[in-house]
Amino acid sequence: MARRRRGVRRTSPWVYIGLTLVSLISIYPLYFVFVVATRSLDALNSPTPPWLPGGEFFNNFSKALARDDVRFWKGMINSIIVSTVVTVSVVLTSTLAGFAFAKLKFRGRNALMLTILVTMMVPTQLGLIPLWGMMQQWGLVYDIWAVILPFLTSAFGVFLMRQYTLSAVPDELIEAARVDGCSTFRIYSSVVLPAVAPGAAVLALLTFMEQWNNYLWPRAVLSPENPTLQVTLGFISYTYYTDYSLVFAALAVAILPLILAVLFFGKQIIGGIMEGAVKA
């Protein structure tokens, strides 16, 4: 009996055209930032906007760093510290809590999960004043820990990892690990954590981007001498007139860590998806 050949469905050229257009639209803002960063202010004020990069990037970036109220590298270091510490903490606590809510049986589990979900409905802005008073009582105002401590856990992260653990980790796998004599923490570290790695990578990427772009709370609780990067970028535009070539030159350097984070975590996400597809 001849083996039946499976037909391979060809992708329509319109799919590639659509993907190309979406990619160009997504990349254009980054390209425009780079073009403005490499141009002088006179070129930006011309009737015809520039489309090609110029040669003024290092000059513009040097002028931005030369201002007395701009502490760019201090803000860069603080943002790296804050984003990294918060991301590691959120991923760790969310995967632990997600495993507990998804696979462990304990009294009050549903009520506690409902409480966590309710906290997601409260706008962040409502807690700024009470949180600032709490930081003042603890003596952390103008300290970098005031930006780190309130975000060490995430209700969204717990919910995301709970849902991902429910679908990615079968109950039979956990029961087999218990039969082999694994403790609960060993099951988490050796069974659950590798299985939920793609979901954890998504959470890490979202958390890092959120903390890197956070402006309101660091602006309220940190001093101009000890800012984060987003606060520093805001100071560059606080002038009688805004030189967008200076602002975008600093912005072009500020988004480099985000691009690296997307490349790193994106590789982990794609690797996890491909591994799951092979297993399926």
Asked whether the whole model's pTM tops 0.75, one would answer yes
- For residue 144, count other CB atoms closer than 10 A to its CB: 20
- Helical residues (DSSP H) of the chain, grouped into ranges: 13-37, 41-44, 57-66, 72-103, 109-119, 128-137, 145-148, 155-168, 171-179, 184-187, 193-195, 197-212, 216-221, 229-236, 244-254, 256-279
Which range has the top average pLDDT, 13-17, 28-32, 157-161?
Answer: 157-161
CA–CA separation, 155 vs 229, rounded Å?
A: 25
Question: For 72-122, what is each residue's pLDDT tens digit?
Answer: 899 999 999 999 999 999 999 999 999 999 888 888 888 999 998 898 888
CA–CA separation, 207 vs 185, rounded Å?
A: 24
Q: What rounded mean pLDDT belongs to the chain?
A: 84
Q: Is the CATH code 1.20.210.10 the one for domain 70-228+254-279?
A: no
Which pLDDT does position 218 carry in this prediction? 92
| Mean pLDDT value of segment 56-61 | 85
Which pLDDT does position 6 carry in this prediction? 53
Query: Domain limits of the chain?
Result: 70-228+254-279
